[in-house]
Amino acid sequence: MGDPGQAMRDPHFWVRFTEMVFAIIAFSVIAEGAGYSRVNFAIWCGVTTMVFALVFMLCYIGDVPQARGTIPLVIDAIWWVFWLSCAGALSADLNNYGRALDGSSKSRMQAAVAFSWLTWFLYWADIYFDYEDARGGGRTITLPATVTQPNSAYTSSGAYSGGGGGVQMKTAQPGTVSI
């Protein structure tokens, strides 16, 4: 089992989490319109995205190597197309849907359109991270858990006491160090 703290410092984990939340919002606000083909497609995109995002987040926590690289890149590229289609279809149908229903339903449709486009945009970030993993770049950005003190080889006066090298550090002003 991997380190959950390490997984939660990974930006890809948070992109997946945000993607899951946005997908839930995108389909839940228009679920009352189920039975209409474009709404059904939005519900399908939202539910499958929610499931995939949750599975990937659990794989990141469990440090499953197959959750990084080519397999997620292919899945995310396919779902990028699905969300582009979903957001485009809902956007094109926004006025027709609003005329057929009352004003509150139109505002729900507007929210679904907005969150569909936001979810599609988050898939760009997924594809970027997946591409970096697939080409061997790995995690290029990991947020630090804590700020640590400098190496104990530096004395309280700022001089390096590790031997060899002869590097001396001097404090120019409080909070700054010059070499």
pLDDT in tens, 33-61: 888 888 899 999 999 999 999 999 999 99
Note the pTM of the prediction, 2 decimals: 0.70
Cα–Cα distance for residue pair 11/36, rounded to 1 Å: 36
In angstroms, the Cα distances linking 158 to 9, 26, 72, 76 are 32, 55, 48, 50
Q: Which residues pair with 160 in a beta bridge?
A: 154
Report the residue count for the chain.
179
pLDDT in tens, 148-163: 555 555 555 555 555 5
Q: How many CB atoms lie within 10 A of CB 46?
A: 27
C-alpha–C-alpha distance, residues 132 and 77, integer Å: 14
Look up residue 17 and give its two tokens: 């989490």
